Amino acid sequence: MKAELIGYDQSPRKVRLVTDLVKGKKVAAALAELTFLNKRASLPVAKLIKSATANAVQGGAKAENLRIANITVDSAGMLKRFRARAFGRGATIRHRKSRMVVTLTEEKA
């Protein structure tokens, strides 16, 4: 009952702001909260939760009993580029990537 997204093009620090809001909530409440959240990472997080829910339902769980047990956001590396600066130097631009893992648990009704 888990789903994983690897290589999402946003920094883990910004994605954690979104995932910390929905950690520990029921799936329906978390998806409702994410639809009205004005953050760029809310759409991929919602899609990932829906994917984990579909995996759990395929495994025999009931969708209304599912709760988000854990969401972890880690670094998935970065793309490094260089920008020209003064006196012939180059400054590094780091395009950070995230890796998200959602784990769901089924509550006994």
- The residue range of the domain holding 41 is 2-106
| H-state helical runs in the chain | 12-22, 27-35, 42-58
Q: At 106, is the pLDDT very low, low, confident or very high (cuts 50, 70, 90)?
A: very high
Q: What is the mean pLDDT of residues 58-66?
A: 93
pLDDT at 109 over 80: no
Does residue 83 register a pLDDT over 90? yes
CATH number at residue 90: 3.90.470.10
Number of structural domains (the chain) is 1
99, 4 contact by CB (below 8 A): yes
pLDDT band at 18 (very low <50, low <70, confident <90, very high): very high
Q: In sequence order, what are the residues at sequence separation of 6 or more whose Cβ sits closer than 8 angstroms to the Cβ of residue 54? A: none
